[in-house]
Structure 1
Amino acid sequence: MAGGLEGAGAVSAPADDRRRERVLAAYDVLGRPPRRELDALVELAAQVAGVPFAAVNLFSSDAQHPVATSGFEGHSTPMDNAMCRLVVESGEPIMVEDAARDARFAGNPWTTGELADVRYYGSQPLRTPSGVVIGTLCVFDNEVHQVTPEAARGLEQLADRVVDVLELELASRRLSEVNARLSTSNDRLAHFAGQVSHDLKNPLTAISLSLEALELEITDPYQTDTLARARRGVDRMGELISNLLEFASQGVAPGDDVVDLDAELASALDDLDGRVPRGSVRTGPLPPARGDAAQLRSVLMNLLDNAAKFTVDGAEPEIEVEAVLRDGHSRVEVRDRGRGVPDDKHERVFAPLSRLDKTVDGTGIGLATCRRIVEAHGGSMGVEERVGGGSVFWFELPLVVA
């Protein structure tokens, strides 16, 4: 709605103009094609007020810009020729039955017939969540109308919806920008994972070749069993490296295969033989899961290894691995009687490169990687204090229905 102000009202402060300009720049609406959602709202505003004309006006420092109109074609006009200017400057709505008889607008060319013959006029401020008034939602007619509470209330609600549309578009655009940055980060992660994979696979290949040579020479049953265990560990490590590399490259949930967590727990304990005494681990039946067996095995290995490493000095590890069903999820718990994790550090332990106890060997990337794997499988992961001392590290995965 292009109208005029006869000089009445406060002059917009430069600071207010700058704040409004910054918000409008963020919304990125000016100079772009009309938004379908805003067009629908101005049409609804005209219907609610029972008038033929409505507009969403946004104000720069020197002009009014109708970004959506109903019943007429809008054009940007100087600030001084805008009836809605008073609403923007005061932050208060205006509803008048006959603008030509209102002292604020009686001499305006849009009410005198010089440019138009506006009579009924209603305008609601568009106020952002941060409190900046960026424009108005206005309705008008060339006929006199009675101002009703229903029309005023409806216009106020629709003005809020206009701001909601602008905020939603801003949030969507920012989300797209974040996704673009994440995509770049994932590309860098994939490159890094490729380098690490290459660095790990070279010595792993050398170990594998050495084991093959030993298999041809060793006949002692005990040594053969030890060699077989080493071979299984090398094979699983190769599979784990390959799967983690693929996971880092794709950044999506890994597969939909049914995983036997009992079998993966047994393999994890086999790999940890010598680090985690079998007699110190009590296990219960674990439910099946969906995803990548090697990745979920690595989660179990990491939690078991940590439970053993952080045992109180001089004590034997006491580790329990059990599962419970909870709200449509399978919750696997690895409980220990170790040193525990302070309440205020329950989240920090999952941060990359975080090491709360530097007296124990480690890199600080294990738990961060575990949480990423679990989340990629549609689950969650955390830690709680164990009654009687120690910690309960848990992860939840979607329940697999047979």
Structure 2
Amino acid sequence: MSTIHDAARRDAIAAYRLIDDAPCPDLERLVRLAASICGVSTAVINVIDDRWQHQIAAVGFEPALCEREDSMCAAVLSRRTQVSVRDARLDERFAANPFVTGEIAHIRFYAASPLTTPQGITIGTLCVFDEEPGELSPEQSADLALLADQVVELLELRRVSAELARSNEQLAVFAAQVSHDLRNPLTALAGFLELASTSPEMAHAPHAAEALARAEAAADRMTTMVDDLLEYARVGGAVSRCEEVRLDEVTAAVLEDLGPEIRASGADVTVDADLPVRGDETQLRALVQNLLANAVKFSSVNGDAPRVMLTATPVDGAVRMSVDDNGPGVPASDRERVFALMARGTDDHVPGLGIGLSTCRRIVQAHGGTISIDDSPLGGARVSVVLPG
């Protein structure tokens, strides 16, 4: 086996964090299933690096560590296809192996399917064996190969989940640092602008006063953007608390916070959401606030009297919450794009950084729900969220 292949295999194994982590119950269940399907009492997942064979899950014996040169699976690793041997004593690859001779074990029947990553790197095998000669039927052989694929899929899921957790943690730290670094100068800037705009001299300089007012508004928008970025990072990929939350109570608190914006827009906001859901109250409040603020903002675009309606209805053991507006709506071709981070709506005149809907999706997914956009009976957009009841 070439040094290049060994290095690639070692890196792949390290990415899966298989060596030092505690045994994975899901892997142990797959091993047990492999033994049952193949009609043997012993099965193991072997991960093989450049020096060692690591038995990371086993049934019928306690998993252990052995040198690669003693491994039966290492002898067939380069083939990348399933190997099945009726009696290992009669196979020149295994006849002198300590797992066959009795030095370590007395293996006779042996079958192994490779564990090959999506990048084409074989990192080990799913192996079944017995102390009596035997063989696999075509169905058993196919099932063993299928279970080996399932092992790799599970390892990929674990790897992606770990990377996502690290990414979320790094994002939260970064956003917190950015928020801290920007908030102080923004606060100072807003204070100086307010002081200047209230100066007696401004009464005689209307153009300067107007310019200062615009500068104050810009500073406020920047502060809001910083807060949005921090909120987006804080959501992460998990729900920290899961409890019964009343949507009507959450919505009432949100409407109180959004009161100035709603009054300034003249929007008519109606709510019918007298239902409980399961989740994190802080995150759900951020979800409702983002959805309502977005609807109020876009319902004011057409020049008609702005209308926003939030409703919640039970559906198959879950709760569907819909937020409708009479704004311009979202074209079908853009309904996935607007959920991306920093994606703006279809109207460039509407202010915002494009974080709100992305934050909403993170919150909904963390709760095991779904979020989508459709046409609204009010004429604009309907954002629908389905959450566990």
TM-score (norm 2): 0.61
1:22 pairs with one of 11, 14, 25: 11
2:53 touches 2:66 (CA, 8 Å); kept in 1?
yes
1:126 aligned onto 2:114: yes
1:194 touches 1:245 (CA, 8 Å); kept in 2?
no
User: Following TM superposition, by how much is the alpha carbon of 1:333 offset from its aligned partner in structure 2, in angstroms?
Assistant: 1.6
- Partner Cα separation in structure 1 for residue 85 and residue 361 of structure 2: 61
Q: Which amino acid aligns with 1:394?
A: R
- Partner Cα separation in structure 2 for residue 303 and residue 206 of structure 1: 34
Q: Deviations over 1:155-174 (max 9, x none)?
A: 44554454344334323322
Q: Provide closer, same or farther for how the CA distance between residues 22 and 329 of structure 1 changes in structure 2, counting only shifts above 3 A.
A: same
Q: Deviations over 1:148-191 (max 9, x none)?
A: 42765664455445434433432332233123223313423652
User: Following TM superposition, by how much is the alpha carbon of 1:122 offset from its aligned partner in structure 2, in angstroms?
Assistant: 1.6
- Partner Cα separation in structure 2 for residue 160 and residue 305 of structure 1: 49
* Counterpart in the other structure of 1:8: none
1:187 aligned onto 2:172: no
* Counterpart in the other structure of 1:71: 61
1:393 pairs with one of 377, 381, 387: 381
1:369 aligned onto 2:369: no
- Partner Cα separation in structure 1 for residue 258 and residue 100 of structure 2: 85
1:317 aligned onto 2:304: yes
TM-score (norm 1): 0.60
User: Following TM superposition, by how much is the alpha carbon of 1:334 offset from its aligned partner in structure 2, in angstroms?
Assistant: 1.5
Q: Provide closer, same or farther for how the CA distance between residues 111 and 101 of structure 1 changes in structure 2, counting only shifts above 3 A.
A: farther
2:292 touches 2:323 (CA, 8 Å); kept in 1?
no
Q: Deviations over 1:251-288 (max 9, x none)?
A: 4699863434888888645323xxxxx6xx7x584324
User: Following TM superposition, by how much is the alpha carbon of 1:306 offset from its aligned partner in structure 2, in angstroms?
Assistant: 4.0
Residue segments in structure 1 that go unaligned for 5+ positions in a row = 1-11, 211-236, 273-277
User: Following TM superposition, by how much is the alpha carbon of 1:89 offset from its aligned partner in structure 2, in angstroms?
Assistant: 1.7
Larger Rg: 1
1:335 aligned onto 2:335: no
Larger deviation, residues 89-98 vs 37-46? 37-46
- Partner Cα separation in structure 2 for residue 112 and residue 269 of structure 1: 78
* Counterpart in the other structure of 2:208: none
Q: Which amino acid aligns with 1:286?
A: V
Q: Deviations over 1:63-97 (max 9, x none)?
A: 53434454367443244x43323432212223333
1:259 aligned onto 2:277: no
Secondary structure of the structure 2 residue equivalent to 1:188:
helix
- Partner Cα separation in structure 2 for residue 298 and residue 34 of structure 1: 40
- Partner Cα separation in structure 2 for residue 298 and residue 71 of structure 1: 54
- Partner Cα separation in structure 2 for residue 296 and residue 169 of structure 1: 31
- Partner Cα separation in structure 2 for residue 109 and residue 376 of structure 1: 54
Q: Provide closer, same or farther for how the CA distance between residues 74 and 352 of structure 1 changes in structure 2, counting only shifts above 3 A.
A: closer
Secondary structure of the structure 2 residue equivalent to 1:171:
helix
Residue segments in structure 2 that go unaligned for 5+ positions in a row = 200-219, 275-280
Q: Provide closer, same or farther for how the CA distance between residues 197 and 347 of structure 1 changes in structure 2, counting only shifts above 3 A.
A: farther
- Partner Cα separation in structure 2 for residue 73 and residue 27 of structure 1: 18
* Counterpart in the other structure of 1:59: 48
1:122 touches 1:140 (CA, 8 Å); kept in 2?
yes
Q: Which amino acid aligns with 1:22?
A: D
Q: Provide closer, same or farther for how the CA distance between residues 86 and 347 of structure 1 changes in structure 2, counting only shifts above 3 A.
A: same
- Partner Cα separation in structure 1 for residue 90 and residue 290 of structure 2: 79
Q: Deviations over 1:102-133 (max 9, x none)?
A: 34434x24488484674523222232351432
1:268 touches 1:297 (CA, 8 Å); kept in 2?
no
Q: Provide closer, same or farther for how the CA distance between residues 24 and 395 of structure 1 changes in structure 2, counting only shifts above 3 A.
A: same
Q: Provide closer, same or farther for how the CA distance between residues 285 and 42 of structure 1 changes in structure 2, counting only shifts above 3 A.
A: closer
Q: Which amino acid aligns with 2:158?
A: E
2:272 pairs with one of 275, 287, 302: 287
Q: Provide closer, same or farther for how the CA distance between residues 200 and 44 of structure 1 changes in structure 2, counting only shifts above 3 A.
A: same
Q: Provide closer, same or farther for how the CA distance between residues 171 and 248 of structure 1 changes in structure 2, counting only shifts above 3 A.
A: closer
Q: Deviations over 1:38-67 (max 9, x none)?
A: 556556655665656543322224553434
- Partner Cα separation in structure 1 for residue 306 and residue 173 of structure 2: 41
* Counterpart in the other structure of 1:88: 77
Q: Provide closer, same or farther for how the CA distance between residues 198 and 35 of structure 1 changes in structure 2, counting only shifts above 3 A.
A: same
Matches within 5 A, 1:161-180: 161-180=150-169
Q: Which amino acid aligns with 2:172?
A: S
Secondary structure of the structure 2 residue equivalent to 1:317:
coil
1:135 pairs with one of 124, 141, 146: 124
* Counterpart in the other structure of 2:277: none
1:99 touches 1:105 (CA, 8 Å); kept in 2?
yes
- The aligned length equals 338
- Partner Cα separation in structure 2 for residue 262 and residue 116 of structure 1: 71
* Counterpart in the other structure of 2:342: 352
Q: Which amino acid aligns with 2:322?
A: R
Q: Provide closer, same or farther for how the CA distance between residues 380 and 271 of structure 1 changes in structure 2, counting only shifts above 3 A.
A: farther
1:99 touches 1:111 (CA, 8 Å); kept in 2?
no
- Partner Cα separation in structure 1 for residue 362 and residue 99 of structure 2: 63
- Partner Cα separation in structure 2 for residue 50 and residue 298 of structure 1: 56
- Partner Cα separation in structure 1 for residue 190 and residue 113 of structure 2: 64
2:338 touches 2:357 (CA, 8 Å); kept in 1?
no
- Partner Cα separation in structure 2 for residue 129 and residue 105 of structure 1: 26
